[in-house]
Chain A
Amino acid sequence: MNVLDLEPPPPGLSGENAARYGYGLYSARYGNIYSVRQLKQLLEDALSEKVREEDFWFAGARVHDGLRPNVDPDGLDSVEEAIFLRRYHLAQVRRMVASSDVFVFTAGLTEIWINRLTGTVYPTAPGVIASPSHEVEIDFQNMRFAEVLSDLEAVRNLLQEVRPGIQMLVTVSPVPLTATASAKHVLLANSSSKATLRAALGEFAERNEDVDYVPSYEIITNPAARGNLFAPNLRSVTQTGVEVVMGQFLLAHGLTQSPATRAPLVATELEEMADGVVCEEALLEAFGE
């Protein structure tokens, strides 16, 4: 197995700063992609090379890419710079898909922030990191089963368009919601969201021979684990938990664990998400306080 990284960090960037700038987390610097809708949008933008000026938000004089606000944490100098970097990033996403044999996606949320006029989806609520210009109105929406399933099929089609024969591995994130913008208690919002995602991903995998469902959610949350695969904060997955999931995955696919396996990085990623280093959801919770 070879995990692609189309946007590696430049030399000199410390480990801490590399994580701050969105390096070393995924195969390109798209930041957290929480929903299938967000993934579909990324692929559509990458294939069409579409950049929308209303997607760039502001924090004082600094400009942030509203579609990946954590990637340049201190913001950019201008909208011009933001557009330039987005075009570059989308080209790397196209290259990433074109070079891939297997596309792995972890679905985290059904809750999305959507531009009322254009339907563009954002990973964070306005005002948490930056805010859109006053002409843009952003609504909260909670995606339903049929929408998630439809988006999954669209993602598969988009991937096949770039890389015919590409296979998909899909999984539901076992990390529970820490905040919800719905009117529900977060416990209810979490179970509803995870159930919707699990059902949609399961149906998607059943329908398509080139899609496989990885049961990381089941392994981490199953009662037999007694919660021991969660860290004391009951949100992060432990290193052991990651190794168990990866071990089962490799066994199921007839692969061997090697030192190059990305498990430690995934564990770091999950821990960092729970620590709030890169997780917009955690920022939303803090913002709400």
Chain B
Amino acid sequence: MRILVLGNSHVAALRVAWRQERSRWPRLEVQFAAAHAQGQADLSITNHILAPKSQKVRENMMRVNGRADYDLRDYDAFAISGGTPSIFHAISLYNQARFFGLPSLADFDPNKSQEWSVLSRANFQSALVGLMQNGSAMDIARTLVSTGKPCVILQQLRVSLDCLSQPRKYAGFLRVKNTGDTGVLSQMLDVSSTAAYADLGNVLHQPHITRIHDIFTAPEYRRGATRLTANDSALQPADDFIHGNGRYGTALLDALYSHFFS
């Protein structure tokens, strides 16, 4: 099976894993079409060729992938890793709203004022789906779905547990951890991720083996993460907690493999 993986800087983890262990997935042949930031939203299909519309994205893709044009007839399926549903969507909404079912609301007193509003679970999910559908992956997913070939959306990995070394910057995550809402919020993230792309493709949730405390990624799947470059060898800064490493990429490709072949 020939898979084209698209996305942004999060593609680096997959590409590192593929370069290092491709024999682990004998029935897969994987190629990559990554672009920094929102570049994947610039891609369009003309006569089966997927290519960027702007020169700027083209140059970026040439630097990062060695190519910018992809004949989609060469692939059996697509996977998107970048701009996809993320724990950041859930946390940003959690900062402004809570929903029935969260453990922290067990002793809720509506007469005490709070900084957030209270919603039904369905309402919160609807709002979270709305946030997720504003991501850049939605545009490229709609483009790829028009080929009739399967498209898999890879949920963005949760922030590394190491982020708590910067409690001010990651105060929202610390708040969730302290309230005991991590499990229910993580479930809401997964359910909403699937719902957000229900009409476009399957969403693969972050592999459970890579998670810790529900809303974090275990540090061993982040440490040593590299930047998206031609050879993906430059390390991410020490205070980057959002990108996965090659080990994480392996877990993702394992999940992708299971999705297609089990």
Contact = CB atoms under 8 A, between A and B. Distances in A.
Interface of A: 7-14, 17, 21, 72, 74-77, 80-81, 84-85, 87-88, 90-92, 95
B100 A85 contact: yes
Contacts of A85: 100, 118-120
Contacts of A11: 92-93, 96, 127, 131
Interface in B86-144: 89, 92-93, 96-97, 100-101, 105, 108, 110-111, 113, 117-124, 126-131, 134
Given A13-B127, A21-B126, 18 more contacts: A8-B117, A10-B93, A12-B129, A12-B130, A13-B130, A17-B127, A17-B130, A72-B123, A76-B120, A76-B121, A77-B100, A77-B122, A81-B100, A84-B100, A84-B105, A88-B118, A90-B110, A91-B111
Given A88-B118, A91-B111, A10 B123 contact: yes
Contacts of A74: 122
Contacts of B108: 84, 88
B117 A10 contact: yes
A92 B121 CA distance: 19
Contacts of B96: 10-11
A72 to B, nearest CB: 5
A80 B105 CA distance: 13
Nearest to B113: A95
Contacts of B110: 87-88, 90-92
28 contacts: A10-B96, A10-B117, A10-B123, A10-B127, A11-B92, A12-B89, A12-B131, A13-B126, A17-B126, A21-B126, A72-B122, A72-B123, A76-B100, A76-B121, A77-B101, A77-B120, A77-B121, A80-B100, A81-B100, A81-B101, A84-B100, A84-B108, A85-B100, A85-B118, A87-B110, A88-B118, A90-B110, A91-B110
Nearest to B121: A77
A130 to B, nearest CB: 14
Interface residues of B, number: 27
Contacts of B105: 84
A9 B111 CA distance: 20
Interface of B: 89, 92-93, 96-97, 100-101, 105, 108, 110-111, 113, 117-124, 126-131, 134
Nearest to A9: B127
A88 B100 CA distance: 11
A11 B118 CA distance: 13
B128 A12 contact: yes
Nearest to B130: A12
A81 B106 CA distance: 11
Nearest to A72: B120
B97 A10 contact: yes
Contacts of B119: 10, 85
Contacts of B118: 84-85, 88
A164 B128 CA distance: 40
Contacts of A8: 117
A84 to B, nearest CB: 5
A11 B119 CA distance: 12
A7 B110 CA distance: 13
Among B89, B119, B121, max chain A CB count under 10 A is at B119
Among B111, B119, B123, B124, max chain A CB count under 10 A is at B123
A49 to B, nearest CB: 8
B121 A81 contact: yes
A121 B231 CA distance: 69
Contacts of A9: 127
Contacts of B97: 10
B184 to A, nearest CB: 13
A17 B129 CA distance: 11
A87 B101 CA distance: 15
A7 B92 CA distance: 18
B114 to A, nearest CB: 10
Given A12-B93, A84-B100, A91-B111, A7 B126 contact: no
A76 B130 contact: no
Nearest to B99: A81
A8 B126 CA distance: 15
Nearest to B92: A11
B23 to A, nearest CB: 43
Contacts of B127: 9-13, 17
Contacts of B100: 76-77, 80-81, 84-85
B128 A7 contact: no
Contacts of B101: 77, 81
Contacts of B130: 12-14, 17
A90 B118 CA distance: 12
Nearest to B118: A88
Contacts of B120: 72, 76-77, 81, 85
A24 to B, nearest CB: 13
A21 B117 CA distance: 14
Contacts of B121: 76-77, 81
Contacts of B131: 11-12
